[in-house]
Amino acid sequence: MAVKVKKVDVKAVAKNEVMTAVSDCLKALGYNVEEGTEFGMTKGTLVVGHATCDIQIKPIVPKAGVDRYDKVE
Q: Which domain holds residue 46?
A: 10-57
Question: Which one-letter amino acid corresponds to residue 1?
Answer: M
> Residue 72 gets which letter from DSSP?
P
Per-residue pLDDT, 37: 94
pLDDT, tens digit, for every residue of 6-59?
888 899 999 999 999 999 999 999 999 999 999 999 999 999 999 999 999 999
pLDDT at 73 over 80: yes
Q: Is residue 63 in some structural domain?
A: no
Q: Is residue 30 in some structural domain?
A: yes
Per-residue pLDDT, 8: 87
Per-residue pLDDT, 39: 95
Q: Is residue 69 in some structural domain?
A: no
Per-residue pLDDT, 9: 87
Q: Is residue 68 in some structural domain?
A: no
Domain count, the chain: 1
DSSP secondary structure string for all residues of 16-57: HHHHHHHHHHHHHTT-EEEEGGGGTPPTT-EEEE-SSSEEEE
Element of type H or E holding 49: strand 46-49
Q: Is residue 17 in some structural domain?
A: yes
Q: Is residue 2 in some structural domain?
A: no
Q: Which residues are CB-contacts of 29 (< 8 A; sequence separation ≥ 6)?
A: none
